[in-house]
Chains A and B, each alone.
Chain A
Amino acid sequence: MALLEIRNVVRRFADFTAVDGVSLQVEAGEFFTLLGPSGCGKTTLLRMIAGFDAPDEGELLLDGQSLRGIPPEHRPIHTVFQSYALFPHLTVAENVAFPLRMAKVAPDDIRRRVQDALEAVHLSEKQRHLPHELSGGQKQRVALARGLVNRPRLLLLDEPLGALDAKLREEMQMELINLQKNVGITFVFVTHSQAEALALSHRIAVMNRGHVEQLDEPSRLYSFPRNRFVADFIGKINMLEAAVLRSTAEALVLDVAGVGEVWAPALPAVAAGQRGMFAVRPEQVRIQSGEVAPAGVGHNQVHGRVLDFLYIGDVTTYLVELANGTRLEALLPNTAPGRAKFFEADDPVTLTWSSQVGVFLDA
């Protein structure tokens, strides 16, 4: 049985539907992420799980028991707020001790467990400080320690790294992964950063306009987006208009605008004649100089000219224009030292990609 089950949950504000029929299950021990653009209903969903808000329709179940009517203080679920929400008049140690005091844990145990929790987030020497004397990253750690100390069944984290700078963010991501692994508590993590979601999660639910577009493991989400929204939201991707020529058990043969015949991984649900988009990641597209002769059936390739390139350091992205004006991006790692690029603007090039990569999106 899933630890948390969300069944057809709907939440409306006046005439606006913030959460529109979400169903998903979170397994015990999982690092589960809700990913989506601003305003897609992530916080609203999280608040219903925590008990600050109630669904208009549908049901939330924890361990198979309905959460309906159970106030936040009686749910074994704790939240790490984006604003940290530390109690400003209590010291770091008192903040962390708060959930234990509420649970009527014996004072000696409280002291020991607060020490342990603060040690786990490397803040033992700050325990007598007040929250306003801490840096953003330190406040973040206190909020984490406070959320974890009483070992909730579920820890909800609403964009907990949102307020940190890039470097600290990366550090905290590492710590979060380790912390979750060590304590074994189920995390439901909210973010609108796809990179963060991919790096941290066991599974990700991509949300858009109040509903889940796709729920998958990071690598599957990245490689096999189910629709245009997911493909576009997660990472960079080339999208080209396409029509299905043949759909077999082994492969999908497409007619892609500006490229011609393209072989793509099979999709059972797709039938010949369907129109949609062919999507392929820049790093899956290889770039070679000159006009290479066609390699035969099942090898996708197209000629074009380099239009522009962007040197990022570890890689260079080339923007290639095809004969019909369509533009495609290809990525090349800069493995040779001191070389920023392998091609100049206007160079004729050939783009190739395997028939095992890319997806056809009909929606």
Chain B
Amino acid sequence: MRRSPLLWAVALAVYAFLYIPLVVVVLYSFNDSRLNAEWVGFTLHWYRVLLNDGEMLEAGANSLLIAFVSATFATLLGTMSGIAMHRFKLRALPLLVITPVAMPEILLGVSLLIFFVQVLNFTLGLFSVLIAHITFCVGFVAIVVRARLAGMDESIFEASRDLGASPWQTFRLITFPLILPGVIAGALMAFTLSIDDFVITFFTAGVGVHTLPLQIYSMIKIAVTPEVNAVSTLLMTLTLGMIIVASRFAPDALKGAA
């Protein structure tokens, strides 16, 4: 198929618009100047500043912890609901599980805030952020796992029982190995979604915890220093790495969901 030059131009413009700011952020994290204005020279100074910034490091540690814990729980719950959605053809279940994925984040954030503070009378902090992150990640994992199961011949699970495997053995020896790529892809997605989430975290963190995105936001309210560029670059690298690994495991599922 021949593609028209116009199409090429449009595509190029769109990608340029998307990626040039990212490239600029990365470049200026190595710029030997206080300002993100002109290129002065190469330095690792801003990364050194970052390493000595206690608050930023704490926020980073928080983010990693939250991402790790919520990815773990979201993967467990999401895998189970993915399997349940596939096995029991209930109409309400997919709706319940997948709605948080489609819901505007701001809505989810606000409703979680109201729920935590007014209904549960809960002090906002690490725990509320964790619950919130698990909530919105479960749906993503469930979608990926379900997509994997949907492409499978149903009779292999019956064959396993037929040949002497208990339901648990069937899960362990047949179902789980077959959905594992989906589970891993889902876990990596949950991790990346959690680590760079801003909106939901903003509403559910209270004053107690700071995550990396929240910290970056509060810094740029004062002034954009290249330290922000440096931390953004690190975050971007991590996210990108995760996405690449995730797409290795479940290329089809990821294409469908992301």
Binding site for B on A (CB under 8 A): 50-52, 71-73, 77-79, 81, 83, 85-89, 98-99, 102-103, 146-147, 150
| A78-B162 in contact given A88-B178, A102-B169 (Cβ < 8 Å) | yes
Nearest A residue (CB) for B169 = A102
> For residues 126 through 162 of chain B, which have their beta carbon under 8 Å from a beta carbon of chain A?
153, 155-156, 158-162
The tally of residues in B whose CB lies under 8 Å from a CB in A reads 17
CB distance from A132 to the nearest CB of B (A): 12
CB pair B156–A78 under 8 Å, yes or no, is no
In the assembled complex, the CB of B3 is this many whole angstroms from the nearest CB of chain A, namely 34
Chain B residues near A103 (CB-CB < 8 A): 164
Residues of B within 8 A of A98 (CB): 160, 163, 165, 173
Q: Is B237 an interface residue (CB 8 A)?
A: no
With most chain B CB atoms within 10 A of its CB, the pick from A51, A99, A102, A147 is: A102
Selected from B155, B156, B163, the residue in CB contact (under 8 A) with A99 is B163
Q: Could you tell me the distance in whole angstroms from the C-beta of A143 to the nearest C-beta in chain B?
A: 9
Q: In angstroms, how far is the closest chain A Cβ from the Cβ of B153? A: 5
Instruction: Please report the C-alpha to C-alpha distance between residue A89 and residue B161 in the assembled complex, in whole angstroms.
Output: 17
* B-chain residues with CB within 8 Å of residue A77 when the two chains form the complex: 162
Residues from chain A with Cβ under 8 Å of B174 in the complex:
87
Q: Which single residue of chain A is at the shortest CB-CB distance from B174?
A: A87
Contact B159 A81 (CB under 8 A): yes
CB within 8 A of B156: which of A86, A147, A150? A86
Known A50-B158, A73-B163; 5 more pairs at CB < 8 Å: A52-B162, A72-B158, A78-B163, A81-B155, A86-B159
How far apart sit A102 and B172, CA to CA, in the bound complex (Å)?
12
Check B164–A79 contact: CB distance below 8 A: no
> Is the CB–CB distance between B156 and A73 below 8 Å?
no
Q: For A86, give the chain B residue with the smallest CB separation.
A: B156
List the A residue with the shortest CB-CB distance to B177: A89
**CB distance B178 to A72 under 8 Å?**
no
What residues of A have a CB within 8 angstroms of the CB of B159 in the complex?
79, 81, 85-87
Taking a contact as CB atoms under 8 Å apart, the answer to whether A83 and B163 are in contact is: no
Residues of B within 8 A of A51 (CB): 161-162
Q: How far is the CB of B199 from chain A (nearest CB, A)?
A: 39
Question: Given A85-B155, A87-B174, A89-B178 in contact, is the A102-B162 Cβ separation under 8 Å?
Answer: no
Q: Do A87 and B160 touch (CB < 8 A)?
A: yes
Cα separation A51 to B160 with both chains bound (whole Å): 12
**Complex Cα–Cα for A283 and B159 (A):** 44
Q: CB distance A50 to B162 under 8 Å?
A: yes
- The answer to whether the Cβ of B166 comes within 8 Å of any Cβ in the partner chain is yes
The answer on a CB contact under 8 Å between A73 and B164 is yes
Taking CB atoms, residues of chain B closer than 8 Å to A52 are: 158, 161-162
A85 touches B161 (CB 8 A): no
Measured CB to CB, the closest approach of chain A to B240, in angstroms, equals 29
Question: How many angstroms from the CA of A85 to the CA of B156 in the assembled complex?
Answer: 5
**Cβ of B155: which chain A residues have Cβ within 8 Å of it?**
81, 83, 85
Chain B 224-257: CB-based contact to A (< 8 A → 1; otherwise 0):
0000000000000000000000000000000000
Q: Which residue of A lies closest to B161 (CB)?
A: A72
For the complex, what is the distance from the CA of A4 to the CA of B58, rounded to whole Å?
A: 70
Max chain B Cβ within 10 angstroms of own Cβ: one of A77, A85, A146, A147 = A85
Cα(A103)–Cα(B165), bound, Å:
9
Q: How far is the CB of A335 from chain B (nearest CB, A)?
A: 48
CA distance A90 to B164 in the complex (A): 16
* B residues less than 8 Å from A99 (CB atoms): 163-164
Q: Which of chain A's residues have a CB closer than 8 A to the CB of B173?
A: 98
A264 to B156, CA, bound (A): 52
Closest CB of chain B to A160's CB: distance in Å? 12
For A50, the closest partner residue in chain B by CB is B162
- In whole angstroms, what is the CA distance A215 to B160 when docked? 32
Chain B CB within 10 A, most for which of A81, A87, A147: A87
Check if B178 sits within 8 Å of A146, measured CB to CB. no
Measured in the bound complex, the distance between the Cα atoms of B165 and A99 in whole Å is: 8
**Chain A minimum-CB-distance residue to B165:** A102
